[in-house]
Amino acid sequence: DRTGRQVHLVSRPDGWPRPSDFALVKVDVPEPADGQVLVRNRFLSVDPYMRPKMNDVRSYTPPYELNAPMDGPAVGEVIASGSPERAVGEVVVHQAGWREYAVLDAARTRPVDVTVAPASAYLGVLGLTGFTAWVGMVDIAAQQAGETVFVSGAAGAVGSVAGQIAKLRGAARVVGSAGSAAKVARLHELGFDAAFDYHDGPVRRRLAEAAPDGIDVYFDNVGGEHLEAAIAAMKPFGRVAMCGSISSYNATEPPPGPRNLALAVGKQLTLRGFIIGSHRHRHDEFVAQVAGWLREGAIRYEETVLDGIENMVEAFLGVLRGDNTGKMLVRSTPPA
Ligand code: NDP
């Protein structure tokens, strides 16, 4: 009989999560029923959005239940199938992450083409974070050639792809902010025209130095001081794609709003939030374009990988702290 490990949320974090809010639990893995598959998960995703889901507050997704496995993106291979639609050996992405083996309906898995990119890429550049970057830049910000673009969280999974997409779409200047000198150096390698460490003085000043003529587009992964600085730097008719606000995910008090929001009137700005799950109709076009760029070597991606599900919580805390460059993942190698 097969057993596998999975991570449960056992208490709701107050502020920064603690390892004791989680438990690694060994469970029996059932055989797949009719219509189901058994997937041996090879890569598990940790994502910032998981932090708000740990609170007992309904946002755009329901909160995680206590004493049950969490979910999230994962990729793995089918090792037993009760469905004619999935063959043993197929590599699939699905949402039953945070566990070594997943038993789920075949219809809730999507096969991926590992000849285009390795399986792990389907959790990053060709997965949810790449899709988020593409939709945010192309559809939400409607970024045009010749524009100046600012991306926060720029060394992360979404931000590093968003900045490169802007460049590929003809941005005149792409500016990124990130949390360390090493990340800033990496942004230059990825083709960002300017980059700064947001710890080095007020964001507003660093942004004014990096984009002295102002910005047309802001891709916001961070919120707070970054958003306020971007509003100050916006040119008339500028657009903000509001993707996330990681600077407040562990806050115990609601963060203050941007104090200069009223500037949006005179500058005629558009600030538009989006949730990637509402843009599934764009998925095929996203894959076609980004897979093409990958084949041409026009877009690069990075991963920060920890080994073993026992390091899943550490990886999750790491993504909130900024330990990662590119997509943060856990490699899982349960017996086949
Ligand atoms: P990242 O890979 O960007 O990891 C998070 C990064 O946030 C860290 O590496 C860290 O980098 C940075 N960070 C942490 N705390 C702060 C802070 N106080 N101020 C500034 N930066 C901070 O994660 P993702 O690419 O997965 O996600 C990026 C954003 O996109 C998040 O806000 C997330 O919620 C959002 N998102 C939104 C989706 C949607 O549908 N709207 C879908 C997917 C993601 P550093 O060292 O630079 O501080």
pLDDT (tens digit per residue) in 40-74 = 999 999 999 999 999 998 888 899 999 999 999 99
Residue 157 Cβ < 6 Å to ligand 1:
yes
* CA–centroid distance, residue 200 to ligand 1 (Å): 19
Q: Tell me: the pLDDT tens digits for 303-326?
A: 999 999 999 999 999 999 999 999
Q: Which residues of 69-90 are buried (b: 16+ CB within 10 A; e: fewer)?
A: bbbbbbbbbbbbbbbeebeeeb
E strand or H helix at 27, and its extent?
strand 22-28
Assign 177 a pLDDT band (cuts: 50, 70, 90).
Answer: very high
For residue 277, the ligand 1 atom closest to its alpha carbon is 40
For residue 178, the ligand 1 atom closest to its alpha carbon is 47
Q: Tell me: the pLDDT tens digits for 111-128?
A: 999 999 999 999 999 999
Mean pLDDT, range 202-230, rounded to an integer: 98
User: What is the structure's pLDDT at 59?
Assistant: 81
User: What is the structure's pLDDT at 48?
Assistant: 97
Q: How many CB atoms neighbour CB 64 within 10 A?
A: 19
Has residue 37 got a pLDDT over 90?
yes
- Closest-CA residue, ligand 1 atom 19, reads 247
Q: Which residue has the tokens 């190698």?
A: 333
- Closest-CA residue, ligand 1 atom 18, reads 247
Assign 35 a pLDDT band (cuts: 50, 70, 90).
Answer: very high
Sign of CA pseudo-dihedral 154, 159, 164, 166: negative
Mean pLDDT, range 177-195, rounded to an integer: 98
Residue 325 Cβ < 6 Å to ligand 1:
no
Residue 304 Cβ < 6 Å to ligand 1:
no
Residue 176 Cβ < 6 Å to ligand 1:
no
Return the axis-axis angle of helices 203-210 and 224-233, rounded to nearest 10°.
40
Is residue 270 exposed (0-12), middle (13-18) or buried (19+ Cβ within 10 Å)? middle
* CA–centroid distance, residue 280 to ligand 1 (Å): 21
User: What is the structure's pLDDT at 58?
Assistant: 83
Residue 243 corresponds to which tokens in the numbers above? 């993707």
Q: DSSP assignment of 164-219, as one string?
A: HHHHHTT-SEEEEEESSHHHHHHHHHTT-SEEEETTSS-HHHHHHHH-TT-EEEEE
What phi and psi values does residue 54 have, to the nearest 5 degrees?
-80, -15
Percentage of residues of the chain with pLDDT beyond 70: 100
Has residue 256 got a pLDDT over 90?
no
* CA–centroid distance, residue 50 to ligand 1 (Å): 11
User: What is the structure's pLDDT at 333?
Assistant: 95
Has residue 255 got a pLDDT over 90?
no
Q: How many CB atoms neighbour CB 121 within 10 A?
A: 22
Element counts in the chain: helices (H) and strands (E): 9, 15
